[in-house]
Amino acid sequence: MRSLLTMLGIIIGVGSVIAAVSLTSGATKQVEDQVSSLGESVITVFSGNFTQGAQRGGWGSAPTLTVDDAIAIADLPNVVGVSPEVRDREQVLANGLNWNTQVMGESPDYPQIRNWTISSGAMFEDADVRSLAKTAVIGQTVADELFPNQNPVGQTVRIRNLPFLIVGVLGAKGFNLFGQDQDDTIVVPYTSHMHRITTRTFVNDILVEAANDKVIDSVQNDITQLLLTRHRSKEQDFTVRNQLELMQAVTATSRSMGFLLAGVAAVSLIVGGIGIMNIMLVSVTERTREIGIRMAVGARAADILVQFLIEAVTLSIIGGGIGIAGGVIISNVVGHFQHMPTVTPFLWIGIAFASSAIIGVISGFYPAWKASQLDPIDALRYE
């Protein structure tokens, strides 16, 4: 019982750290997956802001981007996909039902840029963009609301009383980082949106896909220089952001959390080590006569030192092992009931196991050294 209580500090310290790291790593992976679902090498160009007297609007409040800007960006090196984007919320009707959803005007590159699959049917084509075709691809939420238990492909949805032929259904993506349902959308050719659904000459933003994440910075710089030249402006009336920046922010947050947990681990393990040192000092006192007998029959000081060191390290390693197992079990149970992903932190398990052994050596050394320095005669006379 005393050994179990001695190990309790190590068990709780290691277990809590493993559970916290596992849940934190799972949450980080979930966020990274959501960022990746938005497109891994995506650059977004937003419209500028307006200034009227003393009133200044934020980014996107002034229409400064055009379809021609998007076409020019498509010709830049290392650009593999471009989609001018316009969006509005509309009440749509189909199959005797209606639904309020976001109607997006995009190019055929949109699924590729957003890393979005088509679960049934197909994406509309460049010919649909050129002809202002009334074709649409709908999200899974819209499909469920307007066409329950039916295949929407080939059916019609009315947007502002205009019939659009459904040519495809987007694969389910779920909610994004901002809590918005990504599947609650209808995608139509941007020309159809700008000339049939609304009357616009400007786009809300432009989605750009770079060839890979290594050329994102150069593509971003090229876009900035191109638009400055096209807009004939010394100051930017637009802003350019990329998904890599968001991913780096997530990684930085995860790293900070890792350092915080490392601090918690250090404190917990130190407390556990102090507990082991205390119990080993008590053990040396209680076993003084035993130590004297061992020395009298030929045990050397080194033998006594190793004996007590092994006991301390064994307590630490067993406590660390129990803590690791408990941490993994707790994280999986919490993840299951909270519907959170968990990631088994093998690196941290190794660190925790090694730390337990090191704590055992450090905390057990002084009691072991003290035991090895006892005088055999005094130890034999000890009661």
- pTM listed for this prediction: 0.65
Whether the pLDDT of residue 52 is over 50: the answer is no
Distance CA 102, CA 216 (A): 29
Residue 7 in any domain: the answer is yes
Look at 368 and 268; give whichever has higher pLDDT. Answer: 368
Distance CA 142, CA 372 (A): 77
Whether the pLDDT of residue 292 is over 70: the answer is yes
Dihedral sign, CA of 219, 220, 225, 227? positive
pLDDT recorded at residue 290: 81
Distance CA 15, CA 17 (A): 5
Whether the pLDDT of residue 51 is over 70: the answer is no
pLDDT recorded at residue 349: 83
Are 192 and 220 in a shared domain?
A: yes
Residue 292 in any domain: the answer is yes
Calculate mean pLDDT across residues 6-20.
80
Look at 100 and 290; give whichever has higher pLDDT. Answer: 100
Residue 98 in any domain: the answer is yes
Q: Detail the DSSP E strand segments found in 16-96.
A: 42-47, 51-52, 55-56, 79-94
Cα 191–Cα 90–Cα 129 angle in degrees, nearest 5: 15
Do the Cβ atoms of 269 and 7 come closer than 8 Å?
A: no
Calculate mean pLDDT across residues 276-283.
78
Are 78 and 116 in a shared domain?
A: yes
Average pLDDT, the chain: 84
Are 279 and 317 in a shared domain?
A: yes
Calculate mean pLDDT across residues 11-23.
81
Residue 142 in any domain: the answer is yes
Residue 235 vs residues 54, 231, 238: alpha-carbon distances, Å: 19, 10, 9
Are 30 and 86 in a shared domain?
A: no
Do the Cβ atoms of 50 and 62 come closer than 8 Å?
A: yes
Residue 94 in any domain: the answer is yes
Pairing of strands 51-52, 55-56: antiparallel
Domain that holds residue 130: 65-236
Residue 56 in any domain: the answer is no
pLDDT recorded at residue 53: 47
Calculate mean pLDDT across residues 303-325.
86
Residue 186 vs residues 38, 42, 122, 158, 364: alpha-carbon distances, Å: 16, 21, 14, 11, 67
Name the domain boundary from 212, 236, 260: 236
Calculate mean pLDDT across residues 335-339.
79
Do the Cβ atoms of 261 and 24 come closer than 8 Å?
A: yes
Calculate mean pLDDT across residues 229-251.
75
Are 216 and 101 in a shared domain?
A: yes
Whether the pLDDT of residue 253 is over 90: the answer is no
pLDDT recorded at residue 185: 95
**What is the CB neighbour count within 10 angstroms for residue 190?**
25
Are 93 and 227 in a shared domain?
A: yes
Whether the pLDDT of residue 376 is over 60: the answer is yes
pLDDT recorded at residue 121: 94
pLDDT digits (tens, 9 = 90+) for 295-312: 888 888 888 888 888 888
pLDDT recorded at residue 258: 65
Are 263 and 199 in a shared domain?
A: no
Look at 28 and 107; give whichever has higher pLDDT. Answer: 107
Whether the pLDDT of residue 265 is over 70: the answer is no
Are 290 and 192 in a shared domain?
A: no
pLDDT recorded at residue 383: 58
Are 317 and 349 in a shared domain?
A: yes
Distance CA 304, CA 295 (A): 8
Distance CA 292, CA 275 (A): 25
Are 263 and 358 in a shared domain?
A: yes
Contacts of 75 (CB under 8 A, 6+ apart): none
Whether the pLDDT of residue 111 is over 70: the answer is yes
Are 193 and 228 in a shared domain?
A: yes
* Number of domains forming the structure of the chain: 2
